[in-house]
Amino acid sequence: MVLDALIKIKNEIDSTLTFRRSCREGICGSCAMNINGGNTLACTRRIDTDLGKVSKIYPLPHMYVIKDLVPDLSNFYAQYKSIEPYLKKKDESQEGKQQYLQSIEDREKLDGLYECILCACCSTSCPSYWWNGDKYLGPAVLMQVGVPVSDSPKP
């Protein structure tokens, strides 16, 4: 995988190479970057076996770069926080006193929504997000708005 190659480069060639990584399994999203023109996770992207091809690796596009392959995700996470992506109880004095159950049918309505790992690959691929990133929340954050709305147990 590309992430393995980056780790090898960091360990054996250039210890100053900087990039994010964590799970190495496509779960956390921390190794998101632009590889050969497409935003993807370095831990899930295979290295091209054609040794004649040059691989081009860049940080996620249209974001400030902290260093090397590390984009500044501050705005992205601030936008996520702004939507308050969690269920809220109408009466906080009742918090923890009752469990809210969800039917299988209602749970299935969330399929396709909760799988997002907030890696920012889709948002940084979106021209509207590039041009209006201070106002437009982007696809990743907007999709998260639907999760609490679709969640049937209403506190």
Q: Could you state, in chain order, the average pLDDT of each consecutive group of 10 residues for the chain (155 residues)?
A: 97 98 94 98 94 94 96 94 75 72 78 85 93 87 71 56
pLDDT for the residue numbered 19: 98
Residue type (1 letter), 1: M
- Helix 74-82 to helix 138-150 angle (10° resolution) is 30
- Could you tell me the residue ranges of all domains in the chain? 2-71, 74-150
- Would you state the pLDDT for residue 104? 84
Contact at 8 Å (CB) between 60 and 32?
yes
Question: Among the CATH numbers 1.10.1060.10, 3.40.50.261, 2.60.40.2470, 3.40.50.300, which is that of 74-150?
Answer: 1.10.1060.10
Its pTM stands at: 0.81
Q: Helix or strand or coil: residue 89?
A: coil
Q: Which fold has domain 2-71?
A: Ubiquitin-like (UB roll) (3.10.20)
